[in-house]
Amino acid sequence: MQGVIAAFAELDSTVHAIEDLRKQNFRDISVFSPVPRHELEEAIAAPESKVRRFTLIGGLLGLTFGYWIPIWISDYWPLVVGGKAVASWIPYTIIGFELMVLIGSLSTVFGMFALSRIPRLTMTVGYDPRFSHGDFGVWVAAGPDRAPEASELLRRHGALEVRNER
Amino acid sequence: MATMAKPRPEHLIGSNIATAGNRLPGIKDYEQVDRDIIATLQPTLGWFAMLGVAILCLLIGASTWVYQIYEGLGSAGYQPPVMWGVYIVTFVFWVGIGHAGTLISAILYLFRAGFRTTIYRASEAMTVFAVMTAGLFPILHLGRPWKFFWLIPYPNWRLIWPNPKSPLVWDVFAILTYLTVSATFFWIGLIPDLAVLRDQEKNATRKRIFAVLSLGWRNSDNEWRHFTRAYLFLAAFATPLVLSVHSVVSFDFAMSLVPGWHATIFPPYFVAGAIFSGIGMVFTIIIPLRKFFKLEHYVTINDLDAAAKLCLFTSCVVGLAYLTEFQVAWMSGNKMEQEYFWNRVFGQWTWAAWIMLICNMVLPLSLFSQKLRRNTKWLFMLSIFINIGMWFERFVIVIPSLSHEFEPWQWGGYHPTWVDYNILLGSFGWFFMWFLLFIRQMPVMAISEIKEILPPKMRRAHVEAHHAAHGTLGHPLPADGGTH
């Protein structure tokens, strides 16, 4: 994908550059930052993360599975222990809870991986090691017709370096 | 200039909420954090020496285990009526140690306690390695350790399944879940820091390893957005998990009818004890670490002071539980229970009970003094006493109960042998071997979270400084924003 990448030293310059890019109808914008910042999240105005759905579904599946295993085992070997019902749901709550946490956590991680598109075998165009060190990066998709406009806007906001990527 | 026309509101340019209230005045910028923490990864002669000692202890433990398998469990001092000894004591001890890491990383994260930021990575590593150590003991305790997997419910040709009403089976689920979730939480938190190492590493092989471990993390807004949500949900899962695991471990005892064990107080008592012992081990690890790595300006004395308050609080809860146990025995009217507690404190096991009471209940009261809370030498010494005291707490719970049950023929003694001591030593070797390997391969502090504490560079601040230097404050900004 063709576009322009710019490195910024300051947070507020990055935020204002993103806001101006959006005003100029540049839609495909990504920002790289060494830390998560609410200011950048607001400037990008990305929708709420969908990781929560994975968490909920994984947790419910784990809970169901965690009750089902001991109930099935108890029915398979119907031994009365301590005068309690063959399938006693109260002690099985422990297994249900543990598996809810286990499967819920693993599916949360799976959801994060799927939505963030990691693991990634190659770094995508435009990444610079500075973005994990101290600088902020702004990537904007722009064809040859709009790239000069985007570069000019990013420079005007104090970018340390602006370059075209393909 | 457009960038200066609309200044961001003040509340948006402060530190992020997860690190609220924490300040690190000794650190200038993001780049310094990378430099300081990456510098800790250089191996030194002292590190090699300590690793050598840890591996030697592990080898002593491992060779003793081989001897025990050959000779049988009798070589470890087990004789009726005491068939649970040092191995179960040490199992509960290490599970307890493993509680502080997740408490610090997950529960204090949800409570927005700023002091956790600089100590949580080392504590999390401690948790994972402590649970790995604890997991060995139920296997070491088996006469035929190669059959340990029979506890896991899996389809098998014998058509035999474990009894899901048994607390030992709950233990399998609780410990394996805790190990998996805390290791996952630990690794997920490491991903952005591994990306920093990947980007800063000069050695090609290590760079490739970090690239694989960091999964191609790029610090993009999309990644951070899902990462922060996932981290929050993992913390929310880990919080009740911490409380559940030691409750389940306490059920191993509380579900029986043995005097001294059959008590409803056990789950909260065990959880408070676990957190207390874990904080003790955090001090044992963090205080030398900050000194040897010269990271005193990261793990500040204020952080240690705050952790010491947590230690004092949990010590008070544990002390209250000790006293409540006596009160329960006294008011129960149960002769066996009363005899048992008398025997614990004034009979056969006096020495162990008083080590426990002094180390866990009396000495930590010194932390009411702010001067001592801020004295690292005292905190380190106290942490050693807490480690000893908490091991003896488990000893006092396990051994006196089994050696003094309902009838005189069930009264006996217990003498650990050199096999028990060697395996105990080996467990410390195993734990410290992993921890020492960790501190030289991975960042001991969360680089990205520490950066969150620092105020980011601001163009506006830069411009204001420029004006202050040139006496032009209040004048219109130059066309280039004043940066050139």
Alpha-carbon gap: A39 to the closest alpha carbon of chain B (Å): 6
**Yes or no, beta carbons of B227 and A112 under 8 Å apart:** yes
- Asked whether the beta carbons of B191 and B214 are under 8 A apart, the reply is yes
In the beta sheet, which residues pair with residue A138?
A6, A31
* Dist CA A7 CA A14 (whole Å): 9
Q: Which residue of B has its CA nearest to A94?
A: B170
Residue B352 CB contacts under 8 Å (≥ 6 apart), including other chains: B392, B395, B396, B399, B400
Distance, CA of A94 to CA of A145 (rounded, Å): 62
Amino acid at B429: G
Q: Is residue B124 packed enough to be buried (19+ CB in 10 Å), middle (13-18) or exposed (0-12)?
A: buried
Q: Say if CB B403 and CB B348 are below 8 A apart.
A: yes
Q: Quote the minimal CA–CA distance from A132 to chain B in Å.
A: 5
**Residues A101, B237: C-beta atoms closer than 8 Å:** yes
Q: Whole-angstrom Cα distance, residue B452 to residue B454?
A: 5
> What confidence score (pLDDT) does residue A61 get?
98
Q: Does B366 touch chain A (CB under 8 A)?
A: no
Output the pLDDT for position B412: 86
Q: CB B233 to CB A51 under 8 A?
A: yes
Best residue of B27, B225, B262, B466 to probe chain A, by most A CBs closer than 10 Å: B225
CA angle A106, A107, A108 (to 5 degrees): 90
Test mutation, A16, A101, A106, chain B, max B CBs within 10 A: A101
DSSP B50-119: HHHHHHHHHHHHHHHHHHHHHH-GGGGT-BTTB-S-HHHHHHHHHHHHHHHHHIIIIIHHHTT-GGGTTT
Residues 247-286 of B with CB under 8 A from A: 248, 251
Q: Output the CA torsion B214→B217→B219→B222 (10° steps).
A: -140
C-alpha distances (whole Å) from B200 to each of A128, B42, B206, B208 are 11, 14, 11, 12
Q: How many CB atoms lie within 10 A of CB B467?
A: 15
Residue A141 main-chain phi, psi, to 5 deg: -75, 125
Task: Judge: B230–A111 Cβ closer than 8 Å, yes or no.
Answer: yes
Q: What order of strands is seen across the sheet that includes strand A29-32?
A: A29-32, A136-141, A3-8, A161-165
Q: B3: number of CA atoms within 13 Å, CB side?
A: 30
Cα B427-B431-B434 angle, rounded to 5 deg: 140
What sign does the dihedral B11-B15-B18-B23 (CA atoms) show? negative
Distance CA A114, CA A25 (A): 28
Residues near A59 by Cβ (< 8 Å), separated by ≥ 6? A100, A101, A103, A104, A107, B237
Residues of chain B under the 50 pLDDT cut: 1-20, 472-484
Taking the CA of residue A16 and the nearest CA in chain B, the distance in Å comes to 6
Q: What is the pLDDT of residue B447?
A: 93
pLDDT of residue B43: 85
Using CB atoms within 10 A of its CB, is residue B347 exposed (0-12), middle (13-18) or buried (19+)? Answer: middle
Residues of B in contact with A35 (CB under 8 A): 16, 30, 448-449, 451-452, 456
CB A66 within 8 A of CB A42: no
Mutate to test the interface with B, among A41, A116, A139 (most CBs of B within 10 A): A116
A132 and B456 within 8 Å at the Cβ level: the answer is no
Chain A CB contacts of B169 below 8 Å: 95
Residue B16 is predicted with a pLDDT of: 43
**What pTM does this model have?**
0.89
Q: Token pair of B217, please?
A: 């993390």
CA distances from B101 to B128, B147, B214, B318 (A): 8, 31, 22, 19
Q: Residue B479 has what pLDDT?
A: 38
pLDDT for B13? 44
Q: Of B2, B29, B165, which is closest to A91 when you measure between CB atoms?
A: B165
Rg for chain A, CA atoms, rounded = 25
B2, A84: Cβ pair inside 8 Å? no
φ, ψ dihedrals at A137, nearest 5°? -125, 145
Suggest the residue from A14, A30, A105 to mutate for an interface test with chain B (most B CBs closer than 10 A): A105
Residue B36 DSSP SS3: helix
CA distance A95 to A89: 10
What does the buried/exposed string (b/e) look like for A10-36 if buried means 16 or more CB atoms within 10 Å of the residue's CB? bbbbbbbbbbbbeeeebeebbbbbbbb
The full set of domains in chain A, from first to last, is: 3-46+123-165 (3.30.70.3450), 51-116 (no CATH)
What tokens were used for B314? 């949990």
Number of A to B CB contacts under 8 A, please give it: 223
A64 HSE (CA, 13 A, CB side): 6
Residues B234, A34: C-beta atoms closer than 8 Å: no
**CATH of region B14-459:** 1.20.1630.10
Q: Of B180, B188, B220, which has the smallest distance from its Cβ to A102's Cβ?
A: B180
Q: What is the C-alpha to C-alpha distance for residues B145 and B458, in angstroms, rounded to an integer?
A: 61
pLDDT at B158: 81
d(CA B258, CA B138): 20
Give the one of A12, A95, A102 whose C-beta lies nearest to B458's C-beta.
A12
At residue B461, the pLDDT reads: 65
Q: Give the closest of B188, B218, B248 to A123, CB-based.
A: B218
Q: What is the pLDDT along chain A (166 residues), one digit of tens a residue?
A: 789 999 999 999 999 999 999 999 998 899 999 999 989 999 998 899 999 999 999 999 999 999 999 999 999 888 887 788 899 899 999 999 999 999 999 999 999 999 999 898 776 667 888 999 889 999 999 888 999 999 999 999 999 999 988 7
Cβ neighbours of residue B5 closer than 8 Å, sequence gap 6 or more: none
**Cross-chain Cβ contact B164/A95 below 8 Å:** yes
* pLDDT at residue A124, as a whole number: 63
Q: Tell me, what's the pLDDT at B97?
A: 93
Are the beta carbons of B219 and A40 separated by less than 8 Å? no
Which residue, among B30, B31, B43, B29, has the nearest Cα to B292 in the 3D structure? B43
